[in-house]
Amino acid sequence: MRKLTIAFLAATALSLAAVDLTAQTTARGGVERHDPSVDALVGAEVKVEKLAEQDGFFEGPVWHRGPGQGFLTFSDVTQNRIFKWDQASGLTTYIDKVFTGKDTSSVITFERNGRMYQQPGPNGQTLDKEGRLVFCAMGSGKIMRREANGSLTILVSAYNGHHLNAPNDLVYKNDGALYFTDIRANSRTTDENPPEGVPHTGVYRFKDGQLTLLVSDLATPNGLAFSPDEKVLYVNDIRVRKVMRYDVNADGTLSNGRVFFDMMATGDTRLGNPDGMRIDTSGNVWTGGPGGIWIISPAGKHLGTIVTPERISNLAFGDADGMTVYATGPTQLFRMRVNVAGLRP
Q: In the prediction, which pLDDT does 68 show?
A: 78
Rg, Å, the chain Cα set: 18
Residue 100: pLDDT over 50: yes
Q: In the prediction, which pLDDT does 45 show?
A: 82
Burial 85-121 (b: 16+ CB within 10 A, else e): beeeebbeebbeebbeeeeeebbbbbebeeeebbbbb
Q: In the prediction, which pLDDT does 207 show?
A: 98
Pair 167, 143: CB distance under 8 Å: yes
Which amino acid, 59?
Answer: E
- Compute φ and ψ for 143, nearest 5 degrees: -105, 125
State the average pLDDT over residues 219-239: 98
Residue 342: pLDDT over 50: yes
Per residue in 133-187, pLDDT tens?
999 999 999 999 999 999 999 999 999 999 999 999 999 999 999 999 999 999 9
Which domains are present in the chain? 28-337 (2.120.10.30)
Per residue in 214-223, pLDDT tens?
999 999 999 9
Q: In the prediction, which pLDDT does 43 show?
A: 84
For residue 2, what pLDDT band results from cuts at 50, 70 and 90? very low
By DSSP bridging, strand 25-29 and strand 46-53 are antiparallel
CA-nearest of 284, 240, 292 to 263 is 240
3-state secondary structure of 219: coil
State the average pLDDT over residues 34-57: 93
Q: Which range is least confidently modeled, 18-27, 33-42, 234-243, 288-297?
A: 18-27
39 sits in which H/E element: helix 39-42
